[in-house]
């Protein structure tokens, strides 16, 4: 094991634990519990368990630990706690550290379920949340108060792909000792340097690029050893959001190929964004990798110029145009995941963001014609040809 390994090596070997059989591929420890040699050992383990001593799969499991240690090494965090889904991770990161009377500042452009936690759940427990335009540093500065305990944002927002300046927001938050929690799904662990850039806690939905093949739900919280073991673990292990060992195995194996997949998908997204940017059937093309993207300078400094695997298209003709486009596609499937090997097209206004009011959608730029397109591993020219015929069909 070496902390000096580069990401590609960590992704393949990080966190590995071998059983007495010395298997090559990581084992799935599909067990809820563990046998103690004697009563004294059981007692000792409940007082304090070492890194290779397990009690119950809700608390921890060897396959789950392999995933936690591999993603922590990849992300440059000290430790990680795996969760049953991305939302269990987001909720765990926030709820484990907040209490009544605390104040949180959050970007307002959020994935629907993240918004639900911040807008509808935390307030029930007496936590006050102020929402800001995440791209506006002056708004963060105005909203962060001496009693602000945490700031939360998606480093690249879903589905309008606004990019938030991790280093600048972290600096403002750290001035009042607030914890910076970043939902980093769209930036991917491949392009992320969020912890190095100032984030204290990074959260992923592993359902997206980490699995990358649409098989399982999962999530993970990455941070300091103190935060993960002292704050997150007690909350997660008693509230039941544990990742199953089988799903953890899918995620561990997913990490091995993630960089290859995400780089190839990003290359395709860039190529398609450039080819379709000025297409007459489009009101707008949103892709962070385009020079015309409002935050392209930040994409250069924060993400090494990589725009990620998702682009958003605003199709002329509103909902009718968007539906005609979706129904004409032959390669991308109509669904709502992203980061998958299969290209996936989503109409946020009627699905992922349906719950929002018209005013909320307007404020977030989720127009009736907006399509979120996650690029997969298909041939880029096949995809481009399919998108072009669907764009033509969208205009009747």
Ligand X SMILES: *Cc1c(COP(=O)(O)O)cnc(C)c1O
- Would you say 295 and 163 are in contact if contact means Cβ atoms under 8 Å apart? yes
Q: Compute, in degrees rounded to 10, the torsion defined by CA atoms 125, 126, 127, 128.
A: 140
Distance separating alpha carbons of residues 10 and 223, to the nearest angstrom: 17
Shortest distance, CB of residue 285 to ligand X, whole angstroms? 20
The answer to whether 219 touches 244, Cβ cutoff 8 Å, is: no
Based on CB atoms, which residue is closest to ligand X, 288 or 321? 288
Coil/strand/helix, residue 245 = helix
- Report in angstroms how near the CB of residue 183 gets to ligand X at its nearest: 5
Please state the φ and ψ torsions of residue 224, each to the nearest 5 degrees.
Answer: -75, 160
DSSP class of 345: E
Find the shortest distance in angstroms from Cβ 113 to ligand X. Answer: 6
Position closest to ligand X via CB:
86
Q: Are strands 79-83 and 219-223 parallel, antiparallel or unpaired?
A: antiparallel
CA 181 to chain centre: 12
Please say which residue, 130 or 309, places its beta carbon nearer to ligand X. 309
* CB nearer to ligand X: pick between 72 and 185: 185
Q: Which is nearer to ligand X, 247 or 268 (CB)?
A: 247
Asked if 31 and 245 count as a contact pair (C-beta separation under 8 A), the reply is: yes
Angle at which helices 380-394 and 245-276 cross, to 10°: 60
Tokens 């909720």 found at: 91
The residues facing 148 across adjacent strands are: 103
**Which residues are near ligand X by CB under 6 A?**
85-87, 90, 111, 113-114, 154, 158, 183, 185, 205, 207-208, 217, 219
CB proximity list for 70: less than 8 A, separation 6 or greater: 10, 11, 14, 15, 16, 252, 255
Q: Are strands 333-334 and 310-315 parallel, antiparallel or unpaired?
A: unpaired
Taking the complex as a whole, the smallest distance from the CB of residue 104 to ligand X amounts, in Å, to 16
CB of 95 to ligand X, least distance (A): 15
Q: Which lies closer to ligand X via its Cβ, residue 170 or residue 374?
A: 374
SS3 label, residue 183: strand
Nearest approach, Cβ of residue 384 and ligand X (Å): 25
Structure-token match 């399509």, residue found: 371
Task: Supply the minimum distance, in Å, between the C-beta of residue 304 and ligand X.
Answer: 20
Q: How far apart are CA 203 and CA 241, in angstroms?
A: 14
Least separation in angstroms between residue 208's CB and ligand X is 6
Name which of 324, 312, 306 is nearest 284 in CA terms.
312
> Minimum CB separation from ligand X for residue 191, in Å?
15
Residue (197 or 207) nearer to ligand X, CB: 207
30 prior amide bond cis, ω within 30 = no
Pick 72 or 217: Cβ nearer ligand X: 217
Q: List phi, psi (to 5°) of 320.
A: -65, -45
Q: Which is nearer to ligand X, 49 or 113 (CB)?
A: 113
Nearer to ligand X, 11 or 221 (CB): 221
The nearest distance, CB 115 to ligand X, in angstroms, is 10
Residue with smaller CB distance to ligand X, 183 or 340: 183
């Amino acid at each position: 094991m070496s902390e000096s390994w580069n990401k590609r090596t960590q992704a393949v070997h990080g966190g590995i634990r071998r059983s007495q059989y010395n298997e090559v591929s990581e084992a799935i420890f599909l067990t809820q519990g563990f046998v103690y040699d004697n009563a004294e050992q059981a007692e000792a383990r409940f007082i304090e368990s070492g890194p290779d001593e397990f009690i119950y799969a809700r608390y921890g499991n060897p396959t789950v630990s392999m995933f936690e240690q591999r993603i922590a090494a990849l992300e440059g965090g000290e430790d990680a706690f795996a969760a049953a889904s991305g939302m269990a991770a987001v909720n765990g990161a926030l709820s484990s550290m907040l209490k009544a009377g605390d104040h949180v500042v959050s970007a307002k452009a959020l994935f629907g379920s993240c918004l639900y936690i911040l807008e509808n759940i935390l307030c029930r427990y007496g936590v006050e949340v102020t929402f800001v335009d995440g791209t506006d540093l002056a708004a963060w500065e105005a909203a962060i108060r001496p009693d602000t305990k945490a700031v939360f944002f998606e480093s690249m927002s879903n589905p309008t792909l606004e990019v938030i300046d991790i280093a600048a927001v972290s600096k403002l938050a750290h001035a009042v000792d607030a914890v910076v929690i970043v939902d980093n799904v769209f930036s991917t662990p491949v392009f992320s340097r969020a912890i190095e850039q100032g984030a204290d806690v990074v959260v992923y939905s592993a359902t997206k690029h980490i699995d990358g093949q649409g098989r399982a739900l999962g999530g993970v919280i990455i941070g300091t050893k103190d935060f993960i073991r002292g704050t997150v673990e007690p909350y997660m292990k008693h509230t039941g959001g544990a990742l199953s060992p089988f799903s953890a195995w899918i995620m561990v194996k997913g990490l091995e190929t993630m960089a290859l997949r995400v780089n190839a998908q990003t290359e395709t997204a860039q190529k398609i964004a450039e080819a379709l940017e000025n297409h007459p059937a489009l009101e707008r093309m949103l892709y962070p990798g385009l020079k015309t993207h409002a935050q392209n300078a930040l994409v250069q400094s924060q993400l090494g110029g990589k725009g990620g695997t998702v682009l958003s298209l605003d199709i002329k003709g509103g909902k009718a145009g968007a539906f005609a486009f979706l129904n004409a596609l032959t390669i991308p499937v109509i669904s709502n995941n992203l980061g998958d090997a299969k290209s996936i097209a989503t109409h946020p206004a009627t699905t992922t963001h349906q719950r929002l009011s018209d005013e909320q959608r307007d404020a977030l730029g989720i127009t009736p014609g907006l399509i979120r397109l996650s690029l997969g591993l298909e041939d880029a020219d096949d995809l481009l040809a399919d998108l072009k015929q669907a764009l033509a069909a969208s205009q009747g």
